[in-house]
Structure 1
Amino acid sequence: MSQFEGKFDDFGMDTITLAGPLKAKLDAMKAAGFSQVMLLARDLVSHPEGWRAAVQEVKDSGLRVTGFQVLRDFEGLSGHLHDYKVDIAKSMMEMCAALDCRVMLACSSTSTHATGDTDKLVQDLRKLAMLAIPMNIKIAFEALSWGRNVNEFPQAWDLISQADMPNLGLGFDSFHLFATKTPLDELEILAPSKIFLVQLADFMWNEIKTVEERITTARTFRVFPGEGVHSEALAELVLKLHQLGYRGDYSFEVFNDDYQQMPLETVAARARRAALWLGEDVLRRSVPLPNQMRLRQAHA
């Protein structure tokens, strides 16, 4: 039994933050009070007993799968490269569906082989969404801040709007917003019903001077909301999304090499503090709990 009462309904953790085998990660998240988890494809395919055994572990944990990630470099390719990526997408969708997960994340292409032709990008995103329809999967398209043609969320939103598919929406990552310094006012262009996933993270410095530094920071030194230097901006972002009408999931997308060297329960406790800060202090409400119980601060 968890040492904490209740579970978070609004917030979840990403397995990328924790070290160790999948089951240990799931157990640590659940013990910290979370009810959802963001999974990577490699969580499944690296399981020593095979990916279907990993799926069963997730189901046995009782955690809801927030989303499944990540399909890279899909849009803008042609010929055999495009066919190759279609095969990859189908394989990922099979695993996503097996998890009873309804959201798969695709991030904007960084490939030097990808065209910047808007019509082609729209065509490819529409095709990806159509492939997902029979499996009842939504595609959340995210703008990587080092993407070749799409590197800010308004660009991603423009392609999504042109593709005009009911199961194609936006995957939003606060790190990339802060890295590119995209104005928060740009959020006004979004329809909240088409925001399929929001990923939150902070980092420890205000300026990222090169693309290489941006990639390194994103992949090795993010921190939880409330731990970095962008706490005020992150709080403003969450409030803005809430005011727009977003009522979906928030997942902590925290890549951090230091956290990979810490006990799982210690890292999960940090995530818990971030969720409490966002849910109770920033949004000025309790994190929703079963039976409307208010989450209590953990005691030693």
Structure 2
Amino acid sequence: MNTLESLHVQSVSFSSLKSGGRLIVLGAVHGNENCGTLAIRRVIAEIESGQLGLVSGSVTFVPVTNPLAYARHQRMGDRNLNRNLAPIDTPIEFEDHIANWLCPLLAQHDALLDLHSFHTAGEPFVMLGPEDNHGTLEPFARSVEETALALRLGVSRFVDGWLDTYAAGVARRLAAGVSTGEADVHYGVGTTEYMRAQGGIALTLECGQHDDPAAPAVAYRAIRNTMAQLGLTAEARPAPVSNTEAVRLYQVVDRVHAGDRFVRDWASFDRVHAGEVIGAYHDGTQVAADRDGYVVFPNPGALPGQEWFYLGTSSARA
């Protein structure tokens, strides 16, 4: 059995003799998402063999961020590492110990690329942070830099509105008397939100479906493009993608019962029209879109009380 004592964490760092940006790249924050792990190990091998060199700054790679989940080939060990991420004074769950190691490491860098994959079929996409703001939820002042980097990862679809939408979901859960972890606004804070709170820029790249053989190549290209864009390597800075599609999340719908069902197999970014039925609760109540838009992150395996799917609308962000 895998335990805290039988597992280890690994980070691999390379530094140029010339000062510059400090990038960190994460793989397998969720243990069943290995495209980032494969891509990271490919880039490490290229640097170690001399095929790729750093001309300024530094880069840190974490091939497997959650070794317990990775060993079990499942999304999480004791809990979701990419929710409610912060140092913890009295760690209990395995991911608490990882957070106490990972958070200080993130704070040593000024840019994060977090590599993921998703449940259902669909094209790769980038999760953007908020636009510049002085609000209390996620104040930010580097959206121009972050968006410029996102446009150069090699994918054309962009999603934002995550934490705002999650906070609205928390408010709804609290009003309904839900007292689980997902009724805490801090439960929406993952690696990228934590990184931005430390003053950095941060992007989550969803590289494709979990078992898509093309996903590791998407992750690899993004790593190389990010290093070039930040001036860490001598490669030419990549051109921004064109023909972009941007989606802003605006609502999260929870699964409330194991008997809740989708009316069909949805893929992320499937278009829906106002009034179109997306699913039904166990009591027969239909769940329909309130406007034209998209179904995002549908999860037919969501547990009751967890996010079932999101709704998004077109955005001019990217």
Q: Name the TM-score, length of structure 1 as normaliser.
A: 0.30
Larger radius of gyration: 2
- The structure in which a higher percent of residues are strand is 2
Give 1 or 2: higher helix fraction: 1
